[in-house]
Structure 1
Amino acid sequence: MSEQKVTFKNRNWEVSAILQFPENFDASKKYPVIVCAHPISSCKEQTSGHIYGKKLAEAGFITLAFDASCQGESGGEPRYLEDPALRVEDFRCAADYLTTLDYVDENRIGVLGVCGGGGYAANAAMTERRFKAVVTVVGANYGRLMREGDYTAGAAIRTLEAVAAQRTAQARGAEPLITVYAPNSHEERLAAGMTDIDVEEAVEYYRTPRGENPNSPNRLRFDSLDKAMAFDAFHLADHLLTQPLMIIIGDKVGAFGSYRDGYELFNKAASTKKYLHVVKGASHYDLYDQPQATGEALEHIIPFFKENL
């Protein structure tokens, strides 16, 4: 198996991606391909590309893992922007690009997303009909998570008021505010009193040698939070999400909510072929890179894509 760095256009910038190929790849043949989307704050070199993308390529698919616009090695301004509309458009641009490759079977394109990338993948598939099968791995509804904030009354409104004040300051010449997704260390996390399993393991995955990568710098443009607040990844899934759907979650439940989001998406999706698999004893971040948890997930994902692509 080999891989190739590529780019494709979104508006007037280049989106950076990794194509991974099956063993004995033959460019004169047609292959099914799976677009792999990274979690919020992540990059293509982490779980989406080098765990799921790699294993799916080993199973005979071409995979395309990309960095979100304005993040990682992709172009786009302003940097560190997390804009759901732009993230969803990245998927459509990925499909555009794949249809230009002679060795891609354009009738067998699937999509897989991890965490927030899973929510975006499901949302994109509602209107991007070139995606013929959808997999979410601990898929999370980023808008729902942002609206809940710190789980106190009025948290979302307080955040929106703060964003409004920041935008006013920037309009008058202030520098943009760049914040973080998660604490930068366990010491910082404990000092803030954060003990939830998802927060603890986010630090462990992103800020230690376990998964850290320079293209995932834990930086978020604060004034992009208003865009997330009004976004619902699962809105209209009961009408528009009709493709075969596989949902993978773990039953160690944390604050990010992928367990309940998995059930919500499963119950809401209009898909007539839909499956939900719970990996027993697995946390949200176990399903990013831990061999036992990801191995069990892939035991379901690979046959699902083989059947539906």
Structure 2
Amino acid sequence: MKSNWIKITPHKLVVLTILGAMLSLLDAVFAEDKSAWDKTFPQSDKVTHQKVTYKNRYGITLAADLYQPKYHGDKRLAAIAVSGPFGAVKEQSSGLYAQTMAERGFVTLAFDPSYTGESGGDPRHVASPDINTEDFSAAVDFLGLLPSVDRERIGIIGICGFGGMALNAAAVDKRIKAVATSTMYDMSRVMAKGYNDRQTKEERTKTLEKLSQQRWTDAEKGAPQLGPVSLELKGGEPQFVVDYADYYKKPRGFHPRSINSNGSWTVANPLSFMNMPLLTYIDEISPRPVLLIHGENAHSRYLSERAYKAAAEPKELLIIKGANHVDLYDRVDVIPFEELVSFFTNNLK
């Protein structure tokens, strides 16, 4: 009968000791990498940063960066959840907004939306007007359970395409006490009607026919087809597309997990947005306040102007002189942080 014991010789003991040391070293490296600063903006020494996860109402695990002022004692603070732009990750614009607002005394959370970045959800690189709206409410859930947060003083910021989702979330989730958007896109309006609502009914029908046929292709393959890589310029693109590429494709804002930097959406992604208008109930945010921030020279300015008209008081539209759409992603000398601080300080009392 063979013994179950393995004889350890001095030579084998040395080898095992070396292997154990190597594994311990690798563990330390991985732990260091996990906590390493992986953002497109400098780290602040005025706040603490922690990577966190939590689930939304659909059971999808969301990944986020939690920022808190270093010195706040035992006082419960107001909190702000931030996400966007559409196709970006928390290491880009939303993280910059979150860290800066944390420096000003708020507990903040920048999160990756479902199906993107480090958040869960399969298949990858899809968006949903419903699920991405829920992602904001799930962030409120998480913040409201923190011992450092006063759950009666929670607001949200949506950037670019997640501005529309933020307004939609504020309309339905009455726990959100104030909402601000920056360089807001109503993705459902743009996808359903084209820029400046110029898409005709015939063009819309043709697009829906094409996307409907795409579903057969996806069903046959058992997986959704990805579109072309985002923002690969070939020349002749509109200036706003060039501006996008200047942010996402260059060191200024490039991040490997960002769809706009290094990937593409699924071809059939527009379907639900074309059928479910995000801002249907924007007037029901009232009496909670709305702040819409947009660049004077942004191609998308009309979207905030129309949202402002549809919203009920109290509301404010702040136009930043000389700014384009992308300037409000990361230009800290252009983003009106003092106005944001004043807005949330006054309305998260």
Normalising by the residue count of structure 2, what TM-score does the alignment of the two structures yield?
Answer: 0.81
> Whole-Å Cα distance in 2 between the matches of residues 141 and 241 of structure 1?
19
- Stretches of structure 1 that go unaligned for 5 or more consecutive residues are none
Distance in 2 between the 1:222 and 1:207 partners? 21
Change (3 A) 1:133 1:204: same
Q: C-alpha separation between the residues in 2 aligned to 1:88 and 1:170?
A: 25
User: Which amino acid letter does the alignment assign opposite residue 83 of structure 2?
Assistant: A
Whichever of the two has the greater Rg, that structure is: 2
Aligned counterparts, 1:72-91, within 5 A: 72-91=117-136
Residue aligning to 1:47: 93
SS in 1 for 2:340: helix
The C-alpha deviation readout for 1:190-210, integer Å capped at 9, x for no partner, is: 1xx31x222111111111111
Name the structure, 1 or 2, with higher relative contact order (CA <8 Å, separation 6+): 1
How many angstroms apart in 1 are the aligned matches of 2:145 and 2:227? 38
Match of 2:116? 71
Aligned 8 A contact 2:78 2:106 in 1: yes
Q: Which residue of 2 aligns with 1:209?
A: 251
Equivalent position of 1:23 in the other structure: 70
Alpha-carbon distance in 2 for matches of 1:231, 1:180? 25
Contact 2:158 2:181 in 1 (8 A): yes
Cα distance per residue 1:266-296 (max 9 Å; x no partner): 11112x32111110000000111113211xx
Aligned to 1:33: 79
Over residues 96-124 of structure 1, what are the superposed CA-to-partner deviations in whole Å (9 max), with x where a residue is unaligned? 12222111100000000111111110110
1:283 counterpart = 2:324 = yes
Amino acid at match of 2:334: A
Q: 1:102 to 1:152 in 2, by over 3 A?
A: closer
Q: Equivalent pairs: percent with the same residue?
A: 35
Runs of 5+ unmatched residues, structure 2 = 1-46
Contact 1:182/1:199 (8 A) holds in 2:
no
Residue identity matched to 2:311: A
Alpha-carbon distance, 1:175 to partner: 4.5
Equivalence map 1:233-272=2 (5 Å): 233-254=278-299, 257=300, 259-270=301-312, 272=313
| Superposed CA offset, 1:42-97 (max 9, x none) | 111111112x1111001000100100000000001110011111100111111112
Between the aligned partners of 1:240 and 1:62, the Cα distance in structure 2 is 23
C-alpha change, 1:279 and 1:240, in structure 2 (3 Å) is: closer
Give 1:7 shift: 0.6
Paired residue for 1:221? 266
| Corresponding residue of 1:129 | 174
How well do the aligned residues superpose, as a CA RMSD in angstroms? Answer: 1.7
Answer whether contact 1:15 1:69 (CA < 8 A) is retained.
yes
Residue 299 of structure 1 pairs with residue 338 of structure 2:
yes
Output the CA distance in 1 between the equivalents of 2:121 and 2:72: 32
Aligned partner of 2:27 in structure 1 is none
Structure 2 counterpart SS, 1:301: helix
Q: Is the 8 A contact 1:41 1:181 kept in 2?
A: no
Distance 2:216 2:302 in 1: 36
State the Cα distance separating 1:241 from its structure 2 match: 4.3
Indicate the SS of the match to 1:260.
helix
Give the SS at the match of 2:270: helix
Aligned to 2:190: 145
* Closer, same or farther: CA 290–180 of 1 in aligned 2, 3 Å: farther
Structure 2 residue aligned with 1:169: 217
Q: Deviations over 1:102-160 (max 9, x none)?
A: 11100000000111111110110001111101101011100111123475533332221
Q: Which amino acid aligns with 2:183?
A: V
Aligned to 1:292, the other structure's residue is in SS state: coil
In 2 relative to 1, CA 220–241 (structure 1 residues): closer, same or farther, beyond 3 Å? farther
Whole-Å separation in 1 of the counterparts to 2:282 and 2:206: 29
TM-score, normalised to structure 1, is: 0.91
For residue 314 of structure 2, the aligned residue among 273, 293, 300 is: 273
User: Hey, what's the Cα distance between the residues in 2 that align with 1:19 and 1:180?
Assistant: 33
